[in-house]
């Protein structure tokens, strides 16, 4: 059986059909840059005042001191928004406000708190440094320089930065068409209403995964529920590939060794398409029965992530495999869940020799982050995933992690949850 | 001047007009529960098999051993999705698959790997524990128990959990109508095209804030740009309040002491509405000139957050004040930015006695998280916010934080960024 690390290496090599598009930057929140952004103008575009005060030429007051105060008459007022280019005459000053353009020749702004105002002008008793309180044109960035790197996932601050440098449109990765298939005779679609009989469960996997894709900014297509027959599974796969034209396919269920697990068989003989599967199992828990491969169509290649049917295992497969794969293909520098160091608040034990991702919650105690199990770690218990704010990778070859140990954990996207202790 | 802590206490007390609504749970990603969710059924709803194997009665094989193997004929096959309630006859077993309902009377499932199959039935050489490999009805949660607490911000796992317990609709907080106003003669709306002349800058604040609200799951309304006159500012405020009917108002600019800062004056005398301002300045950096208060209308009270015009300061005010205020009012247990412990990778110095939020980036080195400044900390430099993955609160009374010190920092929502070092 493949190790987790070996599985990740296989996945990183799966090709993905990705296109780019150009969109207004104010519609690009969460999108990933497919090209570097080059500043279209200097930042700032023109020298401006960092303070409310007075602007003048340093040479005019170079000899100012307590003994030799120099008076500069105020020749003008420049407020923010003034579009007149003022020129400063020698031995004069202008009243200037934060963000207003510095007049030509001026090389100092003195704060209003630091001068005395008289009917004849302002009195200066000390010569400040040149460029004092002036934000000089181009000091943050000059036109033509790289402002943001490709692979940046745009957010409030990066969008603000791009806009301020006159970038109004950006080239981003087009969202791939993500298709999701569920399999299993026992599944009933909750969106169609009704209630359960014995033997049925609600089909939650497709919805779970759609929410998880949404949280990473991606829409996804519900490609239906396949029954546990070869014909139904094949038909559902072919519909997603040929009719719904997906770029990446995620399925849940039908991949373990049970006699009725038919995704395996359907992919082994998919009419009209060659399929290459990289593996069918990974030495991890939860989520061992997971199959990854590529479907070759005449137009493109479609990566397929065949996740387990168990909702906990399916979501784990999403966080460990699908999410980092997609972000990685778009060039995001840290596509994995963010990791931090924590201190274990209790002993963690496991049997077996698989890498286990333990659902944990993080508590803050005296400037330390303490990790506790969210409870029953069965892959049938979604409540212990619902309470989790992080995942503890419990190494394959370890069986005990003692209370007090420092460990690296993966943060889940929703850190603001109730601590799981309310359940007890 | 108020301390940051005092300002936060004022803000927590501002009333907010919040309504609830009932929506399908599959449309509730990111929404906050306004009521506890009570399980509508047991979880699981019926006892089922955790493995592919054979189900039977423990009593029938209680004496099984290597010396005394017991053979049970296979009377039936139950696959997942079977809705027939089987009853097991004594001294028989059924072939059963993962997720399939346990027949009445059966109290053990034995894994298929652990039995020998013969033409006469399966051979059992050891008696397992009762309920072995059976997920018992109600073991995760029983109908009527609290499944999720109010204040939970729904995500993939919590939505999956609710659905599995037959919860299809949830009562969540309705999104408040967030209005955003920018002020300043120097501002030009980038969405209207064109280019800048000297004295003009792109109006980025409204867009920045809209993106930041979007990231926390909220839509917001662009309530326009006010000119630096009392009339224009008043008219823009009144339009947002009376015509656009906002529930919360965020403005940027016009709140410092400059002669042209008119938000102060407009709020002091807003025709038809009483306004109570709590404060006009906070001892923090960036973001000192920030005013918070309440506008009383005949129908409701509207909190107003008058943030500084500087884009860095405005965004800081959003993260420190606006975001936690809104999440807190909805009952989210940890409404502030998540905090973690890091080790400083360099000396941090500051002058003055304000609490400073330093924009930093986090590096992972040998299982430690190391914090570095993103560069120039001027409130005019958005690039050092764009590169930031966290904020370091530098205490008001400290002036040096030495390299190697352990500090608590606030994580920004976008942790997957390029490390800021690429700029150098």
Chain segment B162-181, per-residue pLDDT in tens: 999 999 999 999 999 999 99
Contacts of A153 in chain B (CB under 8 A): 414, 416-417
B20: which 2 tokens?
């609830």
> Which residues of chain A does CATH 3.40.980.10 include?
4-18+176-329
ipTM: 0.95
Mark which residues 381-420 of B lie under 8 Å from A by CB. Answer: 381-383, 385-386, 388, 406, 408, 411, 413-419
Distance CA A274, CA A302 (A): 11
pLDDT (0 to 100) of residue A255: 79
Q: Which of B97, B157, B186 sits opposite A80 (nearest CB)?
A: B186
Other CB atoms within a 10 A radius of the CB of residue B123 amount to 14
Question: Looking at the DSSP assignment, which residues form a beta bridge with residue A355?
Answer: A284
Please say whether the beta carbons of A183 and A226 come within 8 A.
yes
**Residue B104: Cβ within 10 Å count:** 10
Q: Are B244 and B179 in contact (CB under 8 A)?
A: yes
* Contact residues, chain A, for B161 at CB < 8 Å: 382-383, 385-386
Strands B37-38 vs A169-173: parallel, antiparallel or unpaired? unpaired
Within an 8 Å CB–CB cutoff, is residue A332 touching chain B? yes
Between the CA of residue A129 and those of A46, A57, A106, B159, what are the distances in Å? 20, 11, 13, 60
- Helix-helix angle B205-215:A156-164, to 10 degrees: 160
Which pair of tokens denotes residue B141? 């949660």
Question: What does the block give as tokens for B355?
Answer: 């609490």
Residues of B in contact with A415 (CB under 8 A): 334, 338, 411
pLDDT at position B241, please? 97
Cross-chain Cβ contact B367/A408 below 8 Å: yes
Please write the tens of the pLDDT for every residue from B128-148.
Answer: 999 999 999 999 999 999 999
Q: Which CATH class is domain A48-135?
A: mainly beta
**Which three-class secondary structure state does DSSP give residue B164?**
helix
| Contact residues, chain B, for A338 at CB < 8 Å | 411, 415-416
Sole residue written with tokens 């560069």? B375
**CATH 2.40.340.10 domain locations along chain A:** 339-423
* Pick among A80, A109, A184 to test the B interface (most B CBs inside 10 A): A80
- Whether chain A has a CB inside 8 Å of the CB on B50: the answer is yes
In the predicted model, is pLDDT for residue A258 greater than 80? no
Residues of chain A with CATH 2.170.190.11: 48-135
At residue A309's C-alpha, the angle toward residues A322 and B106, to 5°, is 155
Chain A contact for B265, CB < 8 A?
no
Q: Which residue in A141, A215, A369 is closest to B383 by CB distance?
A: A141
Chain-chain contact of A160 with B207 (C-beta, under 8 angstroms):
yes
pLDDT at B262: 87
Q: What is the pLDDT of residue A353?
A: 95
For chain A, say whether B126 makes contact (Cβ under 8 Å).
no
CA neighbor of A98 nearest in space, from B188, B229, B314, B255: B255
Alpha carbon distance A208, A206 (integer Å): 6
pLDDT surpassing 90 at residue A424? no
Low-confidence stretches of chain B (pLDDT < 70) are: 257-260
Judged against a pLDDT cut of 90, whether residue A186 lies above it is answered with: yes
Interface check for A46 against chain B (CB to CB < 8 A): the answer is: yes
Mean pLDDT of A182-207: 95
**pLDDT computed for residue B256 by the predictor:** 72
- ω into A44 cis (within 30 of 0): yes
**CATH 3.40.980.10 domain position(s) in chain B:** 4-18+175-329
In the numeric block, which tokens belong to residue B68?
Answer: 């005394």
Please enumerate in sequence order all residues whose Cβ is within 8 A of that of B252, keeping only pairs 6 or more positions apart, or say none.
B180, B181, B182, B183, B205, B206, B209, B307, B308, B309, B314
The CATH number for A20-43+139-173, chosen from 3.50.40.10, 3.40.50.620, 3.90.1310.10, 3.90.105.10, is 3.90.105.10
CA geometry: angle B42, B43, B47, nearest 5 deg = 95
What is the strand order of the sheet B291-296 is part of?
B220-226, B178-183, B248-252, B301-307, B291-296, B274-279
∠A60-A63-A69 over CA atoms, to 5°?
90
| Interchain CB distance below 8 Å, A259 and B186 | no
pLDDT class of A260 with cuts at 50, 70, 90: low
Chain A residue whose CA is closest to B338: A415
Nearest to A416 among B85, B159, B333 (CB): B333
CATH of B4-18+175-329, one of 3.40.50.620, 3.40.50.720, 3.40.980.10, 3.90.180.10: 3.40.980.10
Nearest to A155 by CA among B421, B414, B419, B310: B414
Where in chain A is CATH 3.90.105.10? 20-43+139-173
**What CATH topology corresponds to A4-18+176-329?**
Molybdenum Cofactor Biosythetic Enzyme; Chain A (3.40.980)
Whether the pLDDT of residue A335 is over 80: the answer is yes
Confidence band, pLDDT 50/70/90 cuts, at residue A366 = confident
Position A150 pLDDT exceeds 90: yes
Q: Is the pLDDT of residue A265 over 70?
A: yes
Instruction: Give the SS3 label for residue B267.
Output: helix
pLDDT given for residue A10 in this prediction: 97
Cβ distance A334 to B417 less than 8 Å, yes or no, reads: yes
Question: CB distance A26–B190 less than 8 Å?
Answer: yes
Name the residue among A151, A228, A388 with its Cβ closest to that of B81: A228
Query: What is the tens place of the pLDDT at every residue in A59-87?
Result: 999 999 999 999 999 999 998 889 888 88
Under 8 Å between Cβ of B225 and B189: yes
Is B99–A201 a contact, with Cβ atoms under 8 angstroms apart? yes
CA distance to partner chain A, nearest, from residue B296 (Å): 31
Tell me whether B59 touches chain A (CB under 8 Å).
no
Mark yes or no for CB contact A164/B414 under 8 Å: no
pLDDT of residue B254: 85
If pLDDT is split at 50, 70 and 90, which confidence band does A414 have? Answer: confident
A298 contact B CB<8A: no
Q: Which tens digit of pLDDT belongs to each residue from A229-253?
A: 999 999 999 999 999 999 999 999 9
On whether the CB atoms of residues B137 and B44 are closer than 8 A, the answer is yes
My answer on whether omega of the bond before A100 falls inside 30° of 0, hence cis, is no
pLDDT at A261 (0 to 100)? 76
Of the candidate CATH numbers 2.40.340.10, 2.60.40.1930, 2.40.40.20, 3.40.50.150, the domain formed by B339-423 belongs to: 2.40.340.10
Instruction: Name the phi and psi angles at A335, rounded to 5.
Output: -75, -20
CB atoms within 10 A of CB A45: 23
Q: pTM, whole model, 2 decimals?
A: 0.95
């Amino acid at each position: 059986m493949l190790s987790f690390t070996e599985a990740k290496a296989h996945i990183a090599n799966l090709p993905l059909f990705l296109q780019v598009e150009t969109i207004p930057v104010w519609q690009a929140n969460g999108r990933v840059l497919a090209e570097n952004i080059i500043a279209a103008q200097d930042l700032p575009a023109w020298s401006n005042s960092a303070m409310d005060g007075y602007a003048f030429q340093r040479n005019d007051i170079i000899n100012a001191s307590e003994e030799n105060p120099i008076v500069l008459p105020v020749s003008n007022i420049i407020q923010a928004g003034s579009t007149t280019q003022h020129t400063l005459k020698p031995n004069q000053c202008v009243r200037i406000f934060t963000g207003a353009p510095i007049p030509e020749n001026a090389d100092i702004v003195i704060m209003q708190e630091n001068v005395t105002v008289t009917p004849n002008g302002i009195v200066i008793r000390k010569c400040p440094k040149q460029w004092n309180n002036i934000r000089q044109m181009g000091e943050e960035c000059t036109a033509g320089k790289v402002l943001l790197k490709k692979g940046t996932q745009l957010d409030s601050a990066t969008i603000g930065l791009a806009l301020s440098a006159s970038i109004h449109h950006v080239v981003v990765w087009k969202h791939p068409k993500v298709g999701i298939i569920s399999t299993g005779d026992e599944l009933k679609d909750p969106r169609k209403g009704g209630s359960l009989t014995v033997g049925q469960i609600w089909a939650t996997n497709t919805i779970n995964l759609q929410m998880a894709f949404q949280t990473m900014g991606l829409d996804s297509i519900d490609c239906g529920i396949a029954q546990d027959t070869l014909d139904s599974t094949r038909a559902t796969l072919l519909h997603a590939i040929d009719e719904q034209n997906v770029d990446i396919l995620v399925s849940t269920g039908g991949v373990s060794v049970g006699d009725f697990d038919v995704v395996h068989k359907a992919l082994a003989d998919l009419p009209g398409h060659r399929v290459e599967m990289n593996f069918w199992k990974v030495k991890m828990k939860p989520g061992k029965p997971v199959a990854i491969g590529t479907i070759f169509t005449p137009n493109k290649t479609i990566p397929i992530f065949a996740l387990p049917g168990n909702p906990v295992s399916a979501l784990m497969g999403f966080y460990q495999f699908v999410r980092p794969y997609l972000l990685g293909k778009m060039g995001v520098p840290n596509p994995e869940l963010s990791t931090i160091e924590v201190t274990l608040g209790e002993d963690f034990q496991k049997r077996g020799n698989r890498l286990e991702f333990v659902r944990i919650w993080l508590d803050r105690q005296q400037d330390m982050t303490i990790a506790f199990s969210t409870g029953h770690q069965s892959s049938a218990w979604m409540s212990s995933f619902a309470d989790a704010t992080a995942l503890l990778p419990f190494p394959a070859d370890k069986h005990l992690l003692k209370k007090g140990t420092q460990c690296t954990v993966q943060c889940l996207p929703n850190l603001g949850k109730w601590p799981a202790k309310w359940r007890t």
